[in-house]
Amino acid sequence: MTTALQGIKVLEMTRFIAGPYAGSVLASLGADVIKIEPPDGDVVRSFGPMKAGVGLPFEMMNHNKKGLVIDLKKPGGREVIYRMVKDADIVLESSRPGTAERLGVSYERLSEINPRLIYCSISGFGQDGPYRGLGGVDIVAQAMGGLMGITGEPGGEPVKVSQPIADYGCGMWAVIGILAALAARQHTGRGQRVDSALLDTPIAWSLWEASRYFGLGEVPEPLGSSHRNVAPYRAFLCADGRHVVIGAASQALWEKLCEALDVQALLAEERFSSPPLRVRHRAALEAELKPLFRRRTSEAWLSVLNAASVPCGLVKRYDEAVDDPQVKRRKMVADVHHSKAGPLSILDVPVYLSDTPRVPVSQAPGLGEHSTEVLEGWGFRDDEIQALLAGNVVV
């Protein structure tokens, strides 16, 4: 099977979430990703839940890779990287800025060895700026990036988005940067550095808030499930205790919604007569609609709204979401038989290419599982490998 990134070799020296997630995306698109870990391994290996001693979060973020352990603090460790990087296309690293330099595996050093190398650094705050040297994790990025200041209910405490989206998003931006650098290399023949930061992600995604802040001088406040620039666009409680979301994002959809709800009188109200006016009078509009939704069950309202072509959906529990027939049709969940943990379900990468499909999901590597195999494949002689193993440079 031909894959999109077939033949692309990646050395991934990352931990936690953003870097490993980026590596798993590249691996799923066909790149040969070698996860290089220190002797104590990626800390996420110890995160639960566990199954037969296997950390399931680690499996989610490290599938389709091969595992190699190198102790860069031992004499000879960095030399292994120097040899491998000659044939590598991409290096992924996620250490705090300055660490790679101290370990001798900086962009400057490795690009001297291989000028075609694409070197991606993932960090909390980026490779420059006043916060360069600070450590960053997802919740800090969500807080300092303004996301926790606009989520949750009005007047409530700051709320973190449950999923670590600054981590995941940073990993996605890293992949986008890497793919752009690969395309540029076809024209220039040279590699370059990609700088991806957790803090940048919630800022880059705050398009609605930016439009109001920079355009109107408004400081965005939390709105619960409401939309900043569209109304009605939120979740409504129904008679069965379930919530239904609607997205009447245009004048035509607003009119269809009023017809479906049998509240044509709202169409005649001046304060609701245009999209900007409905946003301005959002609280009053939602107060009109909330009692209506409590009159019927979620199933009944979904039937009515779908028949009227009004975008809508049930607020689902997680089990309902992943078991949904549409999700199954998209093959977002892959069944894997793990050599230690047995049957596992792993989330796949949602990239669908007609001619170069993604790689079937395989289990994440055990710590140092492929060390000998990887070094053999990268041209190390058997006596060299044995010497590295004997010195605990490679495990």
Catalytic site positions: 167
Residue (of 56, 61, 51, 143) closest to 94 by Cα position: 61
Question: Residue 52: which region, alpha, beta or left (left: phi > 0; alpha: psi -120 to 50)?
Answer: left
Determine how many CB atoms are found less than 10 A away from the CB of residue 47.
Answer: 15
Spatial CB neighbours of 359, under 8 Å, sequence gap ≥ 6: 1, 3, 27, 28, 29, 30, 64
Asked if 145 contacts 158 with a C-beta cutoff of 8 angstroms, the reply is no
Spatial CB neighbours of 312, under 8 Å, sequence gap ≥ 6: 244, 245, 246, 247, 301, 302, 305, 306
Compute the distance between CA of residue 103 and CA of residue 160 in angstroms, rounded to an integer.
Answer: 34
CA separation (Å) from 232 to 178, 226, 267, 309?
39, 8, 13, 15
Q: What separation, in Å, do the N-terminal and C-terminal C-alpha atoms of the chain show?
A: 32
